[in-house]
Amino acid sequence: TSLQLVFSTTILLLLYFQNSVLVFTYGSYGFVSERSPCACRICVADRGNSNWFSERYDPNVPILLNSTNSVLSTNVSRWWKLQIVPNAGNYTEVVDQLFPLFPDKEHYSDAGPDRCRTCAVVGNSGNLLGSNYGPLIDFHDFCFSLRINKGPTEGYEKDVGSKTTHRIVYPESAMDLDNSTHLVLLPVKILDIQWLISAFTTKNITQTYTKVPSTIKANKDKVMILHPEFIRYVYDNWTEGHGLYPSTGFLTLIFALHICDEVNIFGFGATSDGIWHHYFEKILTSYEIGIHAGRFENETINRLQQENKILIHKGWT
């Protein structure tokens, strides 16, 4: 009967799409079903729901450096080498030493309609104190720990969590990591990559523009290096040329937008009474001080929430 046919067709459709999220859009011939790019309620990579976002977000930009994408365009190379201090070596020669030491593969290529990769980006703001966000932060699949300036977790677990799957570092902020954490190097100069190689081999680099550790405890098989082209992309598309280069926190947020399906951020911004300080110290800070475009980055982060691309957890103090 026609009723049985309808029932059978419905069951087949449910079986076919059981691991997918269906989005219904109204086309010129009625409603048409499309497979969502992920299994979350809202997917970051869905560029159809925000013109502002789609104008800035490039899904094809190289995120992490590997042997197949290591050649830099003249535009990227010239800009990147101007950062902080003069380059200390030949980029091509340095990269040739890099990939025999660390994983040389494509990461995060398993996104799909049956996945919902949730990510927490955790900063240092004093608004984390008293928040009891720890369990919520640790519940995420990935926890990107900025905890900039070696922000501690011990003693603060109930507010900042204890799980760290990725820690963003550069030589001047390096610290020992446990064996399960990915070390994600943020290279703003060739010397940063040289330091990474040295830290796992000769241990002879102890100075950049300041004293840096000669070695670091970390899992060599979990080392990643942000691509210089990705850093330039964030500078061009997201900070729109403001500041000298993007802040660590802002770069990490955009990194998360590219490898996560759902992004929640914690520990950004001021406390409820407008005070800017780190949760582990009382010294006042400001997003307007320094070489980064703090005000512009802050406005962009708020706009990302308005566009339903991230959720900002502002804390309770």
Q: What is the pLDDT of residue 215?
A: 95
Whole-angstrom distance, CA of residue 256 vs CA of residue 267 = 15
Print the SS3 string covering the chain.
CHHHHHHHHHHHHHHHCCCCCEEEEEECCEEEEEECCCCCCCCCCCHHHCHHHHHHCCCCCCCECCCCCCCCCHHHHHHHCCCCCCCCCCHHHHHHHHCCCCCCCCCCCCCCCCCCCEEEEECCEHHHCCCCCHHHHHCCCEEEECCCCCCCCCCCHHHHCCCCCEEEECHHHCCCCCCCCEEEECCCCHHHHHHHHHHHCCCCCCECCCECCCCCCCCHHHEEEECHHHHHHHHHHHCCCCCCCCCHHHHHHHHHHHHCCEEEEECCCCCCCCCCEECCCCCECCCCCCCCCHHHHHHHHHHHHHCCCEEEECCCC
Task: Quickly name the fold that domain 47-313 has.
Answer: sialyltransferase cstii, chain A (3.90.1480)
Q: In this predicted structure, what is the pLDDT of residue 129?
A: 80
Q: Are 94 and 237 in contact (CB under 8 A)?
A: no
So what's the pLDDT on residue 18?
Answer: 37
d(CA 46, CA 201): 42
Give the model's pLDDT for residue 30: 36
- Please say if 245 is a catalytic residue: yes
Residue 234: what are its φ and ψ, rounded to 5°?
A: -60, -40
Where does residue 109 rank: exposed (0-12), middle (13-18), buried (19+ CB within 10 A)?
exposed
User: Catalytic residue among 245, 277, 279, 287, which?
Assistant: 245
Count CB-CB contacts under 10 A for residue 248. Answer: 18
**Residue tagged active-site, from 140, 278, 292, 313:** 292
Determine the pLDDT at residue 19. Answer: 37
**295 phi and psi angles, rounded to 5 deg:** -65, -45
**Which residues neighbour 290 within 8 Å (Cβ) at sequence distance 6 or greater?**
none
Number of neighbours of residue 32 by Cβ within 10 angstroms: 11
Concerning whether 287 is annotated as a catalytic residue, the answer is no
Give the pLDDT of residue 27.
Answer: 35
Q: List per-residue pLDDT tens for the chain, 317 residues long.
A: 554 444 444 433 443 333 333 333 333 333 333 456 788 888 898 877 789 999 999 999 999 999 999 999 988 888 877 555 555 678 889 999 999 999 887 777 777 788 899 999 988 877 888 888 889 999 999 999 865 545 566 777 888 888 889 999 999 888 899 999 999 999 988 899 999 999 999 999 998 888 999 999 999 999 999 999 999 999 999 999 888 888 888 999 999 999 999 999 988 875 666 655 556 566 655 555 555 567 888 899 999 999 999 999 887 65
- d(CA 161, CA 208) in angstroms, rounded, equals 32
Residue 270 structure tokens = 């001021």
What pLDDT is attached to residue 21? 38
Reported pTM = 0.82
Q: What is the pLDDT of residue 315?
A: 76
Domain boundaries, the chain: 2-35, 47-313
Q: Give the pLDDT of residue 309.
A: 94
Task: Name the nearest CA neighbour of 44 among 103, 95, 94, 115.
Answer: 115
User: How many other C-beta atoms can be found within 10 angstroms of the C-beta atom of residue 208?
Assistant: 18
First-to-last C-alpha distance (Å) of the chain: 64
